[in-house]
A and B are shown apart, each in its own frame.
Chain A
Amino acid sequence: MWEQLAQLVVNGLITGSILSLTGVGATLVFGVQRVPNFAHGDYLTIGAYVGFYINVILNQSLLLAAASSLVSVACLAVVIHLGLLRPLRGRGTVAISIITVGLGIMMRNSISLMFGAQNRIYAVNQSEVVTFGFIRLSPGQTMQVAVALSVAPLVAVFLARTRVGKSMRAVADNRILASISGVDIERIGLYVWILAGSMAGLGGFMLALGQGPFGPGLGAAPLFLIFTTVILGGLGSAYGALAGGLLLGLAMEVATWDGLAGGIDSKYKPAFAFLFLILLLMFRPRGLFGRSVVL
C-alpha cells in the first residue's frame, strides 16, 4: 500500500511537472498578452510530432528530438504571435479566444493530414522496467523525470533571478506599472511567447514519451488540465502555475490510492480533475495563491 503511494507520488510528480511547465507558459501568455490560448494543447501536439519526426523518421537520439521539439515550437509560437495574434490585438478576449480555437483546429488537422490519424510511438522500449528501490519506471518515464528535474528548477530560477524573468512577472502582475518602470512590454511579450512555446514543445515531447502511443489529439485532451493549472495558481501568476501543476498532478494520482477508502478508479482521473476545477471556482476562483484582484 505504501509502495503504491510512493509510485503514485512519482507518477503525480511526472504529470505535474508537465502541467507546471506548460502552465507557466499559458499563464504568462495570458497575463502579458491577454491571450487565453485555446490552441496551447496543440502546441504540445506539434512538439510531440516534431520529436517523433526527429527520433523515428530521421532516426536521431531522444535528446536531439527533445531539443528540436523545444526550438521548433518556440519558433512557431513567435511566428503565430507576430503574424496573427499581435496584429489582431485589441479585438477583445472573446474574439481572440475564438481565433485561438480556430488556430488549434487548423494545427490539429494539419497534423492529421501530414502524419495520418494512426497512433505513433517514440523509439523507446516501453515494456522495459527500470527499478529504483520499490519504484518502477519505464525508460520513457525515467527520461521524463530527468527532464523535469533539470528544467523545472531552471525555469523557476529564470523567473526569480534573471532580469527578463522578473520583467515577465512584473508585466503579468501590473502592466502599466511595469511599463512606466521602464520595462519594454513589446520585447517582454515576445520573450513570453518564446518561453511558452519552448515549454509547450518540451511538454508535448514529455507527454508523448510517457504516454506511449499518441495521435493528433495528444495535446487537445489535457488542454483543460493546463487551464486548471493556470486557474489553480491564479491567472497570470507564474509561481502559482509551477506549484499548481505539481499539486494537480499529485492530487489526480493520489486520489486513486487504495489507502483513501479504496481510491477512485483511475479512469475517472480526468473527471476528478474537472470536479476539482468546479470546486476551485466555487470557493477559490482566484487560485490558491491568487491576488485579491483579477486582471
Chain B
Amino acid sequence: MIAAYLPFWLFVGVLAGIYIIMSLGLYLQFALTGLPNFGHSAFMSIAAYSMAIAVIRFGVSLPVASVIGLMMAAAFGLLLGIPVLRLSGDYLAIVTIAASEIIRYLAINMQDLTGGSIGSLGMGGADDLSAYSMEWDQLLVQISTTLSLEGKFGSDRDLIMLLIVWALALLCLCAFWFMTRSPWGRLLRAIREDEVAVFAVGKNVVGYKLQVLVIGAILGGLGGLLLAFQIGVFSPDDFLPTLTFNCYLILILGGTNRIWTIPFGSILFSLIYSGTRFLNFYPISLIDSGDRAYLRLFIVGFLLIAINALRPQGLMGNRRELMIDS
C-alpha cells in the first residue's frame, strides 16, 4: 500500500523541500524584516530562465549557468530595491507584484530568447528540442550508481533529488537560523518594528533592506533552479505568480516568525496541495479532475484569508512577536 504510493510521496517530499528554500527567502524579507515581496515568483523565474538560456543558447556548463542564474536573480533584486526601498512597504508590494507580471509577460513574448509559451523546449529554435538538465541528470545517475540504489525505494531520481533538496534546505535553514540570532538578525527585526529608530541610531536602513531583498532573491532563485531541475522542462506556466502566495501560505501556516516552522508549513502545504487530487467524495466529485487545480488555488486563497483573520501568528507562531506595522 505504502510502496505503491512511494513515488508520489517522494515527489511531494521534493516539492516540500523546494518550497522550504523559496519560503526561507520570503521569511527573511517578509517575516523578519517586514518587506512585503509579492513577486517572489519573478526571482525564481529569472534564475531558471537565465540558467536554461545560458546552457541551451550559449553552451555554458551547468554549474556556471546556475551561478549566472542566481546572479541574475540578485541583480533583479537590486534593480527593484534601489528605487523602491526608500519608500514605504506598500510601494514594494506594488512594484514586486508588477515585476512578477512583467517577467511572465516577457517570458511569453520574447520568443527568440525564452522559447515563448512553449518554454525551455523551444529555446534552441523551432526544430531543436532543447534540454538544460542533461548534466544534472547525469549527476543524479552517478550518485545513484555510487549508492547502488537500483530502484529499491521507488524512483531513484526522485529519491536522490529528495536528499539533495532537503540537504540544501536544512543547510540554508541552519545558516539563516544562526544569522537571524546574530546582531544582523536583531537589526533586521528592529527595522521591521521601527525603521525610524534604527535610522536614528545611525544604521543604514536602506542598505540593510537591500541586503535582505537580494539574499531573499537569491534563495528564491535557488528554489527556481531546483524546481527547473526537478521538472526537467519548464514554461512560463510553471512560474505563475501563485507560487509567491503558496510561499506566503507556508509561512502563515507554520507561523510567520519562527524559522523552524518553515519545514512544517512546507510539508503541510504540499500535503494539502497534492492531497486534493485524492479527494473523491460527494461534493468534490462533482468537480471534474481538470477543474481541481482551480479548487486547489481556491483553497490557497481561502486559507490565506482564514488564517490571517483567525490566527495571525500562524499555527505554531509566536504571538508576542507579531507586530508588523500594527
Q: Tell whether B300 is near chain A: CB-to-CB under 8 Å.
A: yes
Q: Tell whether A274 is near chain B: CB-to-CB under 8 Å.
A: yes
Interface of A is mostly: helix
Residues of A within 8 A of B305 (CB): 84, 99, 102-103, 106
Distance in Å: Cβ of A95 to nearest Cβ of chain B: 6
Which one of A107, A274, A294 contacts B99 once the chains associate, using CB atoms below 8 Å?
Answer: A274
Interface pair B101/A224, CB less than 8 Å apart = yes
Contact A101-B38, Cβ < 8 Å, known A95-B324, A110-B298, A113-B287:
yes
Q: Tell whether A241 is near chain B: CB-to-CB under 8 Å.
A: no
Distance in Å: Cβ of A48 to nearest Cβ of chain B: 17
Contact A277-B95, Cβ < 8 Å, known A94-B324, A223-B101, A268-B109:
yes
Interface pair A95/B95, CB less than 8 Å apart = no
Q: Tell whether B36 is near chain A: CB-to-CB under 8 Å.
A: yes
Q: What does the 1/0 interface line of B79-99 toward A look like (CB < 8 Å)?
A: 110111011111101110111
CA distance A94 to B30 in the complex (A): 9
Q: Tell whether A104 is near chain B: CB-to-CB under 8 Å.
A: yes
Residues of B within 8 A of A157 (CB): none
Within 8 A of B (CB), among A225-274: 227-228, 231, 235, 267-268, 270-271, 274
Q: Tell whether B309 is near chain A: CB-to-CB under 8 Å.
A: yes
Interface pair B298/A109, CB less than 8 Å apart = yes
The contact size tier of chain B is 35 or more
Within 8 A of A (CB), among B287-324: 287, 291, 294-295, 297-298, 300-305, 308-309, 312, 324
CA distance A279 to B79 in the complex (A): 11
Interface pair B90/A93, CB less than 8 Å apart = yes
CA distance A38 to B95 in the complex (A): 12
Which one of A90, A93, A101, A279 contacts B245 once the chains associate, using CB atoms below 8 Å?
Answer: A101
Residues of B within 8 A of A107 (CB): 301
Which one of B88, B294, B309 contacts A88 once the chains associate, using CB atoms below 8 Å?
Answer: B309
Contact A106-B95, Cβ < 8 Å, known A91-B312, A99-B308, A112-B294:
no
CA distance A268 to B105 in the complex (A): 9
Residue of B nearest to A277 (CB): B98
Residues of B within 8 A of A75 (CB): none
Interface pair B294/A94, CB less than 8 Å apart = no
Q: Tell whether A7 is near chain B: CB-to-CB under 8 Å.
A: no
CA distance A103 to B304 in the complex (A): 8
Residues of B within 8 A of A109 (CB): 294-295, 297-298, 301
CA distance A110 to B299 in the complex (A): 10
Distance in Å: Cβ of B315 to nearest Cβ of chain A: 16
Q: Tell whether A282 is near chain B: CB-to-CB under 8 Å.
A: yes
Residues of B within 8 A of A154 (CB): none
Residue of A nearest to B244 (CB): A101
CA distance A105 to B300 in the complex (A): 8
Distance in Å: Cβ of A23 to nearest Cβ of chain B: 13
Distance in Å: Cβ of A279 to nearest Cβ of chain B: 8
CA distance A223 to B106 in the complex (A): 16
Interface pair B83/A282, CB less than 8 Å apart = yes
Interface pair A224/B38, CB less than 8 Å apart = no
Q: Tell whether B242 is near chain A: CB-to-CB under 8 Å.
A: yes
Q: Tell whether A278 is near chain B: CB-to-CB under 8 Å.
A: yes
Residues of B within 8 A of A281 (CB): 83-84, 87, 91, 95
CA distance A224 to B105 in the complex (A): 12
Q: Tell whether B204 is near chain A: CB-to-CB under 8 Å.
A: no
Interface centre among B102, B295, B326 (most CB of A within 10 A): B102
Interface pair B301/A103, CB less than 8 Å apart = yes
Interface centre among A101, A277, A281, A282 (most CB of B within 10 A): A101
Residue of B nearest to A107 (CB): B301
Within 8 A of B (CB), among A26-40: 36, 38
For the complex of A and B, the 10 pairs showing the least CB-CB separation, nearest first, are A102-B304, A105-B301, A224-B98, A106-B301, A92-B326, A112-B294, A282-B83, A109-B298, A102-B305, A109-B294
Write 12 A-B pairs (CB below 8 A) sorted by A numbering.
A36-B93, A84-B305, A91-B308, A99-B309, A106-B298, A112-B294, A235-B90, A277-B95, A281-B83, A281-B91, A281-B95, A285-B91
Binding site for B on A (CB under 8 A): 36, 38, 84, 87-88, 90-95, 97-99, 101-110, 112-113, 116-117, 221, 223-224, 227-228, 231, 235, 267-268, 270-271, 274, 277-279, 281-282, 285, 294
Extra pairs beyond A270-B101, A278-B95 (6, CB < 8 Å): A36-B93, A38-B93, A95-B312, A98-B304, A227-B94, A227-B97
